[in-house]
Amino acid sequence: MKIDKELLNKTAHLARLEFDENSAEQMMKDMTEIIDWVEKLNEVDTDGVEPLTTMSQEINALREDEPKPHLSHERALENAPKKDADYFRVPKVLN
C-alpha cells in the first residue's frame, strides 16, 4: 500500500500532527514501510496457533479476601505533616 499526500494529511489531522513539507515526504516513506511490513505479516500461516493472551507463563496467585483490622482515624493522622482535627491538610490545587 502506498501512502499518498491526501492520506497523510487526513491521518495527520486525526492525530493532530503538524510537520513541514520535508518531513511530510519522509513521513510518507516511513508510513509506507510500516504498512508494507504489516501486510507481510498477513502472509504468515497462523492456522492451529493459539492466540497469545499474556507474555509470560506465570499464573496469578490469588488469595481469598479476608477482613483485617484497619488503621484507626487517629493513628492515620498521627504522622501527618499538616492536619486538623479530622483531616489531612494539603496545598490547594484548584483555584
3-state SS, residue 83? strand
pTM, to two decimals: 0.48
> Is the model's pLDDT at 87 over the cut of 80?
yes
Q: Tell me which residue of 31, 30, 9 sits closest to 18, measured CA to CA.
A: 9
Mean pLDDT of 66-76: 89
Model pLDDT for residues 2-30, shown as the tens digit of each residue: 888 999 999 999 999 988 888 999 999 99
**Domains of the chain: residue spans and CATH:** 5-41 (1.10.20)
Instruction: Give residue 15's pLDDT.
Output: 94
Those residues with Cβ within 8 angstroms of residue 86's Cβ, 6 or more apart along the chain or in another chain: 73
The pLDDT of residue 56 is: 81
